[in-house]
Amino acid sequence: MFIGTILFSQLSDWFGRRTTFTFALLWYSAATLAMACQSTPLGLDICRFIAGLGIGVEFVTIDTYLSELTPKDRRGAAFAFSQFIHFLAYPAVAFLAWLFVSTTTFGYDGWRTVTVLGALGAVVVWVIRLGLPESPRWLAGRGRLEEANVMISEMERRVVAETGRPLPPPLILRGEVEVERGSLSEIFRPPYRGRTVMMILFNLLQTMGYYGFASWVPTLLLAQGITVTKSLQYTFIVAPVGPMVAQLIADRVDRKWQVAAAAFGIGAFGLAFSQQSAGALIIALGILIQLSNSTLSYSFHAYQAELYPTRIRARAVGFVYSWSRFSTIFVGFIIAFFLRNFGTTGVFVFIAGAMAVVVGIISVFGPHTSRRRLEEISR
């Protein structure tokens, strides 16, 4: 995913959001189907690596596309709802694994069935995307103004039909349509250089809290005396709830403060979690950490897509987001080291330190983005 985001996210700026979204889905689906047919560790790893390239491109394209297609006062809620759908995959895959992994289907191991179902799910999404428009912002930036106008007119017609009310006059920003090609080097020049450095540091550190807890829930709960069965039930139930709750504040609180508050919550609730021995308090604090994680995830995905202009949005998001994929490579080893040598207290002291730096970086250097036009933010 690190290689996919840092090298191939620019495809979305070159060929369009909808086209790249489709290509990445088919890429992932083909690699995953091939993985289901492997019988050696090397074959599995190669197919998994190729699938990861597609997933990396897909994540960046989704963030770019969603930010450009939603109105400024609904952008946060759109990302929160998207994350809710995303997190439904956790209980869905857990259920499929419970159903098939311990069995054989037509003589094949059950894990292959789960893998094939995941690949076929991507094909279903590919069919659904036939009804999606290309990003009007991307079309306008490529000089395809007539196509962009057709897309916008159709969207406006459908909104008027659904609401029964005329739309307010559009807010026009002078020179907002920039018919020009960007380059990756632009993110290292003013006014984007500071934002780029900020988001690289943020992405390097946020994974310490997000994956440090989310990926180690069963282990951390076991260390606190909670059984595997209960810990898996906890993970199953809590994961999709956070984004649904977050929709209530998604566009009412500025995005930078949502990111900072979520990071603070992970650190503070985590430290409290590490000191508990009672099952009820452990579960309650675990839920609060998971809710903070969910808020952090949806809000920073929205936030980083808002910071750059359309002409370089995908490659900029891909570059800064790739550093979270890079640090994820090492998170498991770091958490294991602290857990082995310092227990859950040591794990969360380390996570709290990383989150404290995140809070400081975003609070001091992060621009305000909520309920603002993308073109206004990028200036």
pLDDT at 225: 67
pLDDT at 287: 81
Q: Per-residue confidence at 179, pLDDT binned at 50, 70, 90? A: low
Is position 144 within any domain?
no
Lowest-confidence region among 184-193, 223-232, 237-246, 341-350: 223-232
CATH number (domain holding residue 313): 1.20.1250.20
Is position 159 within any domain?
no
Taking CA atoms, 222 is separated from 209, 228, 246, 277, in Å, by 19, 7, 28, 11
Is position 301 within any domain?
yes
Dmax of the chain from CA atoms?
65
pLDDT at 224: 64
Q: Per-residue confidence at 32, pLDDT binned at 50, 70, 90? A: very high
The one-letter amino acid at 10: Q
Is position 226 within any domain?
yes
Q: Per-residue confidence at 260, pLDDT binned at 50, 70, 90? A: very high
The owner of tokens 């579960």 is 283
Four-residue CA torsion sign, 130, 76, 298, 321: positive
Whole-angstrom distance, CA of residue 352 vs CA of residue 108 = 45
Whole-angstrom distance, CA of residue 31 vs CA of residue 37 = 10
Q: Work out how many domains the chain is built from and give that number.
A: 1
More confident residue, 26 or 171: 26
Q: Which tens digits make up the pLDDT trace of 281-297?
A: 877 887 888 889 889 99
Q: Judge contact between 64 and 315, C-beta under 8 A.
A: no
- Helix or strand or coil: residue 38? coil
Is position 155 within any domain?
no
Lowest-confidence region among 206-215, 237-246, 247-256, 360-369: 237-246
Examine the pLDDT at 232 and tell me if it is beyond 60: no
Statement: the pTM of the whole predicted model exceeds 0.85: yes
Examine the pLDDT at 229 and tell me if it is beyond 60: no
Is position 223 within any domain?
yes
Is position 156 within any domain?
no
Whole-angstrom distance, CA of residue 102 vs CA of residue 228 = 18
HSE-CB for 74 with a 13 A CA cutoff: 8
Whole-angstrom distance, CA of residue 188 vs CA of residue 204 = 18
The owner of tokens 């006014």 is 191
Is position 178 within any domain?
no
Average the pLDDT over 25-40 and give the result.
Answer: 93
Instruction: Collect all residues with Cβ–Cβ distance below 8 Å to 284 and sequence separation of at least 6.
Output: none
What pairs with residue 280 in β-bridges? Answer: none
Domain span holding position 311: 2-132+185-378
Whole-angstrom distance, CA of residue 355 vs CA of residue 261 = 10
What average pLDDT is seen over the chain? 88
Q: Which tens digits make up the pLDDT trace of 48-100?
A: 999 999 999 999 999 999 999 999 999 999 999 999 888 888 788 888 888 89
Q: Judge contact between 347 and 335, C-beta under 8 A.
A: yes
Examine the pLDDT at 194 and tell me if it is beyond 70: yes
- Helix or strand or coil: residue 108? strand
Q: Is 287 exposed, middle or buried (0-12, 13-18, 19+ CB in 10 A)?
A: middle
Average the pLDDT over 2-20 and give the result.
Answer: 93
Helices (H), the chain: 2-8, 11-15, 17-36, 41-69, 75-87, 89-100, 110-128, 136-141, 145-163, 193-214, 217-223, 228-238, 241-246, 255-274, 279-306, 313-365, 374-378
For the chain, the first-to-last Cα distance in angstroms comes to 30
